[in-house]
Amino acid sequence: MSEKLMSKKKPAFPVSKRLDAYLAHYSRKTEIPIFYDDLLRFSGSVAVYDADDNDTLWVRVYYSEYDRMEIDSSLKKVYSILHSDGSDSIFPFLNVDAVDFCTFGNSKPFRIRVRNVLNDNFTYFYVKKTDASRIYGLELEHMLSPYNLNFLVYKDTLIEEHISGIPGDVFIKEFLPKCTESEKSQLAKEFVKFNERCMIRLLGDMRSYNYVIVPTHDFDHVVYRIRAIDFDQQCYEGKLKVYRPQFFKENYLMVMLVKEKLQRNSVDQYKIEERSIVAKRILSSGNRIKRLISISKSDKISIPENIEALSQHIHDLTGDIAFKDCKSMGEVLSLALDFVKRNYEDVSMKQILENKIKI
């Protein structure tokens, strides 16, 4: 199913001047001492396996002694810019434990593991090639999801912080069978809300390995949340199903969980809740999201046939004739978010008027 839904290869789109100015205005653009291409100068690599000796599709790369010293220093500087004040004062306490490279997928990222030598705490960050659609995805996630994201852009290089959690495919295989019935119900609810959020903001390709499950202990039980970790497929594909995680075969067990644990009325309730929350976030984001959407309208982040197809699919779903006239994916996105916001405002105004009448 997944192969038929997705295009074979999504191209990377350059950052326009207007988007670059936006990133600078909101402190996303920062000069860094190393570029993605610099990390490609590795002299060798070895495969990385997990605890069960399965190939992770990552390789651990190594560099010549001369390059290694320069790269280590630069990566520590990037860490300091991303997580601290950008100074060199923390360098003596940091060690670059590993540089891993993934050839699977579109972004081909480098994963950097940095450890604090004083207490052995470590964290990751990622170095990727800049792609405008991915940047839109990161910014929309920052504004429209419950989670803030930290990332930096400099010329053709994108630095992303690590998003912690259990990979969805691992969770479904190893943890889901051990969950209690109550926990399964809660996961079903979260999947419905995650599915709705992805569709509203047009984030595609949420197969199980592109999101994580985040367990949080709350008093005497565990609360689960679902977070996207891959934003390559923001506003590119032409099929609406691509933006709905429920249609990927990798999520089949999660879909079955929803069918088993939730009644139709509950599913509709959770969809309405998520639309309302997203609408509130759109309103609270103010000029920032307005500026981003305005830039996206004139930006090229897809191809004409995908724009036409998605416009038609959303028109068929909503009945909104305005989708017929879309010339860019930014326009499709703008109308989709505006549709959600208008519905929320209309319902809110109706409730206000009804309350006034009752009083």
List average pLDDT for each run of 10 residues in the chain, which is 359 residues long.
67 95 96 96 93 89 93 96 92 96 86 95 96 97 94 96 96 96 96 97 96 91 94 96 97 98 96 96 96 97 96 93 94 96 74 48
Q: Is the distance from CB of 51 to CB of 176 less than 8 angstroms? A: no
The pTM of this model reads 0.92
pLDDT value at residue 330 = 97
pLDDT value at residue 19 = 98
DSSP 122-172: EEEEEEEE--HHHHHHHHHHHHHSS----EEEETTEEEEE---SEEHHHII
Q: Over the Cα atoms of the chain, what is R_g?
A: 22
**Segment 213-271, tens digit of pLDDT:** 999 988 888 899 999 999 999 999 999 999 999 999 999 999 999 999 999 999 999 99
Dist. CA 300–CA 12, nearest whole Å: 10
Q: Is the dihedral of CA 324, 325, 330, 336 positive or negative?
A: negative
Read off the tokens for 65.
């002694």
pLDDT value at residue 2 = 46
Q: DSSP assignment, residue 210?
A: G
pLDDT value at residue 351 = 56
